[in-house]
Amino acid sequence: DAKGKLCLNCHENFKEKLNYPFIHTPVKMGECSECHNPHAASHGKLLDEDAKRICFKCHEEIIPKDPKSSHKVAMEGDCVKCHDPHASKNNFVLLKAGNELCVDCHKNIGSALTKIKFKHNPVEKGCTNCHDPHSSGKALYLLKNDLVTLCVSCHQANRPAFAKQHMNYPVEKSDCSSCHNAHGSDRGGILFDNVHQPVANKICTQC
């Protein structure tokens, strides 16, 4: 069975892509006809299905049945805005690595992240530490879980030092984003500008 080898007889320039470290499984298996019709098709690039629907033939689980939030490009099937359908130098066949891809569209966040003084470590490591890039069945803003659950998965709210910093207020049941900017800020403790240190009591005692 010649499979994709037959296609490469003509598409020689494609051979270079096959040396990339991350290859889409059907391409790696030489199953070009999983997505393309070798003879004729009603869709561009001889695709078997509309370009905005073809990925869902295999990846239907990417979007949960009733998502609480969803990424517009994923819902519209614009997968190729983030992924190369064949092969890439980046994991998950992404067009760019890490946050570089996200800030291509979310320029205001990207710009803010380059200027802020105190950066939230998980954000620097990658947006997908907290966000699902496709959709979330659990929370708004594509968060992988509700905000507090997400925060306390890293920050041990029951530690005495942590409680003292928060005036012994039960923060594990509170909205962390009412005081903290999850991406980072110019204030220590990634506090919002209206939560001043060391006189944070002013804002805290309002609650």
CA distance 189 to 117: 11
Q: Which pair of structure tokens corresponds to residue 127?
A: 């947006």
pLDDT at position 198 is: 57
Burial 82-99 (b: 16+ CB within 10 A, else e): bbbbbbbebeebbeeeeb
The alpha carbon of residue 164 and the mean position of all alpha carbons in its chain are separated, in whole angstroms, by: 34
Instruction: Give the separation between CA 110 and CA 76, rounded to whole angstroms.
Output: 23
* DSSP secondary structure letter of residue 26: H
pTM of the predicted protein model:
0.87
Q: Report whether pLDDT(11) > 80.
A: yes
Place of tokens 């049941």: 173
Alpha-carbon distance 166 to 153, whole Å?
17
pLDDT at 183 over 90: yes
pLDDT in tens, 62-72: 998 899 999 99
Question: pLDDT tens digits, residue range 149-171?
Answer: 999 999 988 888 888 888 888 88
